[in-house]
Structure formats: C-alpha cells, structure tokens
Amino acid sequence: MGVLVLVCALLAGLAGCVGSKKERPTVVVTTNILGDLTRQVVGGEAEVKVLMKPNADPHSFGVSATEAAQIESADLVVYNGLGLEENVLRHVEAAKEADVPTLGVASAVHPLTYRTDDTEGQPDPHFWTDPSRVRKAVRIIGDAVAGHVAGVDKSAVKAQAAAYGKKIGQLDAWMKQRFDTIPKSRRKLVTNHHVFGYLARRFDYAIDLTSGKKKATGTFKEKPNEITGVATE
C-alpha cells in the first residue's frame, strides 16, 4: 500500500481525502448483452456500469434518474441502438449533445434489414445472434475504449479485445460445424420474434415468424397450433 493510500485510509473516517478522489474512468453500457462484451474488453482498466438488469427485456427496460445522469457523465457510452433500447435512447442522445463519446454498436456491424411484415426495410438491431458480428463488435468496442477513455492502458484493452474476439471466432466456427450437420433443406427456424434473423442469415436458416412476431417478447402461447403446423411441415 502506498503512503498516500495509507494516509487516505486513515483519514477516510474523518473528512475524506482529496488525494484519493481520482475516480476510475467509467464506461456506461445500456444492455447486458453489450455489457458482457464490454466487461471482457475493459477488464480492470475502467469501471463498467451496465444499465439493463439480468433477465430484463432489452426493448422495454428503463433507467432511474441517477442512471440517466450516469449516462450523461460517462467517459464512454456503449449502446445497441437502431431502436432496441427504446426507453434509454433519449438519454444517449442527451449524452451525445453533452459531448460524451458514444458508440452505437448495431449500426457499426453492417446491420441487416427486416424482410417481412410491416417492419420491412427497417434495420434489425438484434445483431448479437450472429457470432461473426459479435466478434466485430468486440473489436469496435476495444477501439472505442482505447480511443476515448482517458487513463486506460490502450494496449491492454486492445489485447483483451483480441483475445475475446478469438474466443468468439472459435465459437462461430464450432457453431458452423454443428449447423452444417443439418441438411440445408431442413434448416427452418420457427420463432415469434425477430431476434434470430442474424443467426438465420449466418447459418443458412429459413425463418418462420409466427403471428406473435410484433411483440417484443413472450412465449408461443398465442398460436400453438400454428407452431406445431410449421414444425411438422
């Protein structure tokens, strides 16, 4: 323990210690999906605050006033974008206006556009079901952290991003190998939500969206007969 830290520790109970006030840089991340990636990239180089709680719905989670203030005072904001985290994006916009560096990951990984129903032509935010795009996202997050967050060890961040990207590359290769054991004519994916569009594209699946598709989350309870019909075709 350094002398200054020791002195601070001794004084902490009295009036705080100005010498210890230097706070770690903070990266604020909207979704827990991006939070996982960002934590791997950042390691111990900065504080990573993830706003979405475990098991929350990325489309509908909200933030407290305190969290909104954290977004606007972050050293970097990592968000999904393309309309995903609907209740948080206005705070991200406010952060941009306050000159906080922000990284919209989905738009940076060549998003697909929806090809069915009334959302046709709009960009699809669910890029994380394609591991090759996740690998790209990891690299981009590493570049943003190294480029915008003062005080981090840039080479450590880039090395962490590269190492994690390599793991995802291995996962991608394994998934492809496994999916390739299924004949292409039988690769039909039945879902009630758009989330698997990227996975389907990456691994040559045809998507069958059921009538529950416009709901952000939920189960197949709406049309069980429809699911069974598609699944047995």
> Cα–Cα–Cα angle for 18, 20, 23, nearest 5°?
110
Cβ contact 109:115 at 8 Å: no
Residue 155 Rama label (left phi>0; alpha psi -120 to 50; beta): alpha
How many residues bind Zn ion (CB under 5 A)? The answer is 1
Q: 5 φ, ψ to 5°?
A: -60, -40
Least Cβ distance, residue 220 to Zn ion (angstroms): 15
Of 159 and 195, CB closest to Zn ion? 195
Taking the least distance from each CB to Zn ion, the nearer of 89 and 195 is 195
Q: Which is nearer to Zn ion, 40 or 80 (CB)?
A: 80
Site string for Zn ion, 25-64 (x = CB under 5 A): ----------------------------------------
Least CB distance to Zn ion at residue 121 (A): 17
Per-residue contact flags (x/-) with Zn ion for residues 179 to 208, judged by CB under 5 A: ----------------x-------------
Q: How far apart are CA 173 and CA 171, in angstroms?
A: 5
Instruction: Compute the least distance from the CB of residue 206 to Zn ion, in Å.
Output: 19
For 86-126, the DSSP string reads TTTHHHHHHHHHTT--EEETGGGS---B--SGGGTTSBP--
Strand partners, 189: 207
Q: Which is nearer to Zn ion, 74 or 78 (CB)?
A: 78
Contact code string over 139-178 relative to Zn ion, x by CB under 5 A: ----------------------------------------
Decide: 82 and 106 in contact? Cβ < 8 Å: yes
The DSSP letter of residue 210 is: -
> Measured from the CB of residue 125, what is the shortest distance to Zn ion in angstroms?
7
Please report how close the Cβ of residue 57 comes to Zn ion at its closest, in angstroms: 8
Which residues contribute to the site for Zn ion (CB under 5 A)? 195
